[in-house]
């Protein structure tokens, strides 16, 4: 009987501790969620400013961003789309996409491209590539991502959109071909879908 009472007592204590921890976690979340959301928005705005020239738009670019969840968007891993307009005409797109075949997993990136297929810039936002090798996709480590600037992406020049080892025009890294290959391929495939099936992406997303 005493053992049962002791077990019950400790069970109550453990339950109380768990309740307090949950309550504290919830409180911390509610106290910090607005600050976290603001920090995320500021980071996103900073990256958008890096790849999207200011003279390309007169709308609120950040406010134009919308998550995409259509089958087509999921298939080509286009997670979010921002639309730049000037004088009420679409001048460029910025979108989040993911290369699933990096050396160490997913490589998340932000891409800006015009409706005519000119890449304005890309930035890698998250990856787990090998330090000293694959992490050269980061601008703070290497200027490799700048090689995308002003490149034209069209079905007619699709063979150019590969690393040199695969017959394309993009440099690979010494000892690390997989990472740049993954980035180039994802910019190519996602960019072509956006350029050729923008209306479908929009229509599916509104359903």
Q: Alpha-carbon distance 32 to 37, whole Å?
A: 9
The conformation of residue 143, written as its DSSP 8-state character, comes to S
Domain of 177 in residue numbering reads as 54-203
Tell me what pLDDT residue 206 has. 67
Tell me what pLDDT residue 124 has. 93
Residues 70 and 141 in one domain: yes
Tell me what pLDDT residue 40 has. 57
Tell me what pLDDT residue 74 has. 93
* Residue whose C-alpha is closest to residue 59's, from 84, 42, 79: 84
Tell me what pLDDT residue 134 has. 86
- End of a domain among 35, 51, 67? 51
- For the chain, residues with pLDDT lower than 70 are 1-11, 28-41, 205-207
Q: Alpha-carbon distance 113 to 155, whole Å?
A: 15
Residues 127 and 150 in one domain: yes
Q: Which helix (H) or strand (E) holds 42?
A: helix 2-51
- End of a domain among 33, 51, 69? 51
Cα angle 5-9-15, degrees, rounded to a multiple of 5: 145
Residues 108 and 71 in one domain: yes
């Amino acid at each position: 009987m005493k053992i049962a009472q002791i077990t019950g007592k400790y069970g109550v204590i453990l339950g109380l501790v768990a309740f307090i921890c949950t309550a504290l976690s919830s409180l911390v979340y509610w106290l910090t969620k607005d600050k976290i959301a603001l920090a995320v928005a500021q980071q996103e705005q900073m990256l958008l400013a890096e790849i999207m020239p200011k003279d390309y738009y007169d709308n609120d670019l950040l406010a134009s961003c919308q998550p995409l969840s259509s089958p087509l968007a999921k298939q080509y891993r286009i997670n979010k789309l921002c639309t730049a307009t000037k004088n009420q005409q679409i001048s460029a797109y910025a979108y989040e996409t993911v290369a699933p075949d990096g050396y160490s997993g997913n490589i998340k990136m932000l891409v800006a491209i015009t409706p005519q297929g000119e890449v304005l810039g890309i930035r890698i936002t998250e990856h787990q590539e090998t330090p000293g090798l694959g992490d050269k996709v980061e601008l703070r480590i290497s200027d490799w991502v700048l090689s995308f600037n002003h490149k034209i992406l069209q079905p007619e020049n699709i063979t150019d959109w590969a690393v040199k080892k695969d017959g394309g025009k993009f440099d690979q890294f010494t000892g690390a071909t997989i990472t740049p290959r993954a980035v180039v391929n994802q910019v190519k495939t996602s960019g072509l879908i956006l350029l050729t099936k923008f209306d479908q992406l929009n229509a599916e997303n509104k359903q």
